[in-house]
Structure 1
């Protein structure tokens, strides 16, 4: 039996240069992300995604579910053997046989998932909370005896009785777990209730607390941020929010928002997020929406005349997020809502001159072209319009 790796992500207790604890992001694209309908990664794709995450400084990944069988075990082992600078975690049910399967992958840490809401306990554990606690003690103890670091995942934590959830966390700590994952499995929380739940747990334990949010209501990022502010040391994320149903909290949104809004460091190189999204999109057979926050093609693209005029004078007028932070730059496109400032700027870039009257004529033609063709107007089209306008003019054009 291979011995578990001893490589782990840094403890969040270490303060960063700002004096605040680093927030540890645990990316579960290779596990929860792959549960999205129709998504199936090959071993090579899993290693490529893990490598991209490692290059970006993501400290932890949940690499898969060993209990799925020998192919999944081999894929996780391939990631472990790639010797990447991150912690590779296997996701398991709270079962001894799942721990045994995880040991075959060479990981040094497992997330052992346990139903904690009465609905889930009734369906999976015969309806007795005592059964859940006993199972936890037995399986966590077994995993620790085998040399594994353990996170206990509280499935459906957001619908669990809070007093019982506190008992579960205490039981996990006593059994030797390092972390407890608070899972909003059915996406029933809002930011206020997320913060309340995490604050209540943080008041009772010194364990690492990880928040795992789903996005059925479009609140996964907001709930994750609220959980971190209330005491979560770890956040579970996926690239572009890929995951079952509506998906999970997106890695790129959480990493950037933590920095922008709260000055919290994650160790992630934000300029690498574009590249990670491209790798995952290709492997998942999914396109990246043009307006996808952080990694969409259009997030720094402007057409509106008022906005473009302001941006050309001072970027801060209509842009709070600096594109250079993400290795990006502003892009101005011409369309129905363009104004004279955009036309003048583009003509200057193209080294073309026009009078004010000619520029207004060009703008009118540009707007009409955008409506007719249902899209932005290319520079070459503007050049052609310029020639047509100038050829009709009495004055000379350069």
Structure 2
């Protein structure tokens, strides 16, 4: 693999023990209009496992009997990843998760005053009791549980810490900071994680939405503050603006922060493409790392430099994320790349002919955008036969 060339000012973050628990099959499927088939869910789960994802949130068992069967089928695949299931703080939800064969139940409960008043219609004392009762039931059913405070980032701080202490006392294996509306800044996430670490000894998890485009930055901030588990989804799909993109978090941790968390980044592009196909969601060409434009070059100045040393305009090689380099021909194509293409085609052209071919490529590119290989070959044929 070619050498990488990242900023030397990036800090080193030695956090190899960070767990990725991917929620493509649960929160990702909550993207409006998305419904994976059971077969698609099994395929995605296998791809996530092949890429080294540590935990897979396979669904919300209480949704339906079919959901339970699908999660059970994923659990029966014998994957290396732990299988997780979402659950409200009710016995029925927990029983459904246990019936689905999950390794860990992800309990969640609203904790902000807005959620307590308008959604749950419960008091703070009610919530604390529900957490304790649910953890008792999980223990009775023989399954581990984590507790996340839904709408963490709008929850009264002292009550939030009480929630975490109650969860830890009840046997939760980790507690979660949840930016349900994606309305917190990296500074806020850092503060919440730091404060939680002062209150409890169990690991802190992050579930972060992207409404303000800060999910990835918030994930890095949370990990730097001491969080050790992060929810992701492939391509960042999910409710509203989505979640932390798996590919961006894993690659960012490995290359930007020099912290390899065990995810095979070379499998990110294929995983991204599969989820796009199954979800029916369009992936922008400029999607970071896994979009088709990320390693595409057209400008004559850029292409000439890339041909000499790819590191001039690529901080890491495309194969590092399973992507490919594309040199695009169009209105910005330079004569140096035209000459290289002519050599590749075994065409012995003079400088004048190469210049004329370049002129015609630019002219066509101005009219149609991208000039295809067939169109380029026709231009070459016309000029060389003139």
SS in 1 for 2:102: coil
Contact 1:22 1:264 in 2 (8 A): no
Q: Does 1:27 align with 2:22?
A: yes
Matched, 1:387 2:381: yes
What is the rounded CA distance, in whole Å, between the counterparts of 1:23 and 1:238 in structure 2?
Answer: 16
Which residues of 2 match residues 133-148 of structure 1 at below 5 A? 133-148=128-143
Asked if the contact 2:16/2:261 (under 8 Å) is kept, the reply is no
| Alignment gaps of 5+ in structure 2 | 1-12
Q: What TM-score do you get using the length of structure 1 for normalisation? A: 0.91
Per the TM alignment, residue 192 of structure 1 is displaced from its structure 2 partner at its CA by: 2.0
Q: How does 1:1-398 map to 2 (within 5 A)?
A: 20-374=15-369, 376-392=370-386
Alignment deviations for residues 239-292 of structure 1 (CA, whole Å, 9 cap, x no partner): 101111111111001100111111122211111112211221222112322221
Q: C-alpha displacement at 1:127, in angstroms?
A: 4.5
The CA distance in 2 between the partners of 1:19 and 1:273, in whole Å, is: 22
Contact 1:301 1:331 (8 Å CA) reproduced: yes
Answer with 383-392 or 155-164: which moved more: 383-392
- Could you tell me how far 1:341 is from its partner in structure 2? 2.0
CA distance in 1, matches of 2:84, 2:97: 9
Determine helix, strand or coil for the equivalent of 2:56: strand
Structure 1 runs of 4+ off > 3 angstroms? 18-21
- The alpha carbon displacement at 1:19 in A equals 5.7
SS at match of 1:203: helix
- Write out per-residue CA displacement over residues 182-229 of structure 1, whole angstroms, 9 at most, x where no aligned residue: 111011012222222212212322211111111111111111111111
Aligned residues: 374
Query: What is the RMSD of the two structures over their aligned residues, measured on CA atoms?
Result: 1.5
Deviation of 1:52 (Å): 0.8
Q: Report if aligned partners of 2:148, 2:178 keep a CA contact under 8 Å in 1.
A: yes
Instruction: Give the TM-score taking structure 2 as reference length.
Output: 0.93
Residue in structure 1 matched with residue 3 of structure 2 by the alignment: none
Secondary structure of the structure 2 residue equivalent to 1:215: coil
> Could you tell me whether the CA contact under 8 Å between 1:125 and 1:132 is conserved in 2?
no
Unaligned runs of 5+ in 1: 1-17, 393-398
- Give CA-to-partner distance per residue, 1:112-144, whole Å, 9 cap, x none: 011111111112343421111111111112112
Q: 1:238 to 1:19 in 2, by over 3 A?
A: closer
Distance 1:39 1:19, change over 3 A: closer
